[in-house]
Amino acid sequence: MTDSLPGALRAFAATPQVLVALDFDGCLAPFVTDPADARPLPEASEALRRLADCDGVQLALVSGRPVQQLRDLADPPPGTWLVGSHGAETAELDEAGELHRVPFTLADDEASLLAEVTAAVGKIAEAYPGAWVEHKPAAAVLHTRALAEDRAEEALAEAYRGPGGQPGVHTMRGNQVVEIAVVDVNKGMAIEDLRERLGHVAVLYAGDDVTDETALAVLGEDDLGIKVGAAETVARHRVADEQAMAGALADLASWRRSQQQG
């Protein structure tokens, strides 16, 4: 944890209306070989539940995963906003655990392009046993975590240059993935949309991946950005890993509660 982060968390805890927006993989949940096995650390889940009970705190999970999958794996508190597919999907979780989705549909030409991209990415995955394709409402994603490093880099580069270089697509390179979308979305745009929906709120955003940099880059002076891990970042604060991030969230919840009770 950077030396300045505890003070920044204390100051953020005193802000009347806040949005705590967090990446999932590599931030709340450690990376695993099979993405379906990912779960948030128990300490992180407990901190989110405590924050959800605080007045003036809105929670959001912002991920490349589809919204339904994010809800199932993260099991977030009711009232949490879920932003999936890097912003292509947005939903709010109600008290009964039901998702209320913001409408999203592809135009005919976008749907046709997605089918073309998906087929091309599928062929690349077939050529690299161990790679696999994740299907999203507006994107196809090549995953290479199970491959040897040199083979993974070859597959990712092929996807990036091939279907990822087609006109009309928006390609993002992440941690052992290339995501090729047919709509222009990113996590920064998602955070700005949430801020507009929620009104005047200060935002805490934390994430580990290069795709999180778009969200960290839109934060202002009253906001708080945290990078998880050692990668290059525009964030002013950093924690070492998911365990340290869970600790920071626990501290935030404790300070928020103590200030409100005081």
User: Are 10 and 95 in the same domain?
Assistant: yes
CATH number of the domain enclosing 12: 3.40.50.1000
CATH number of the domain enclosing 166: 3.30.70.1020
Q: Are strands 224-228 and 177-181 parallel, antiparallel or unpaired?
A: unpaired
pLDDT at 262: 58
Which of 117, 148, 181 delimits the end of a domain? 181
Q: How many domains does the chain have?
A: 2
User: Are 251 and 136 in the same domain?
Assistant: no
**Residues in the chain with pLDDT values less than 50:** none
Burial pattern 191-211, b for ≥16 Cβ within 10 A else e, equals bebbbeeeeebbbbbbbbbeb
pLDDT tens digits, 45-79: 999 999 999 999 999 999 989 899 999 999 999 99
- Two structure tokens written together for 127: 């050529």
**Residue 133: which domain range?**
108-181
Question: What's 162's DSSP letter?
Answer: T
User: Are 98 and 125 in the same domain?
Assistant: no
Residues forming beta bridges with residue 178, ordered by sequence position: 142, 173
User: Are 249 and 156 in the same domain?
Assistant: no
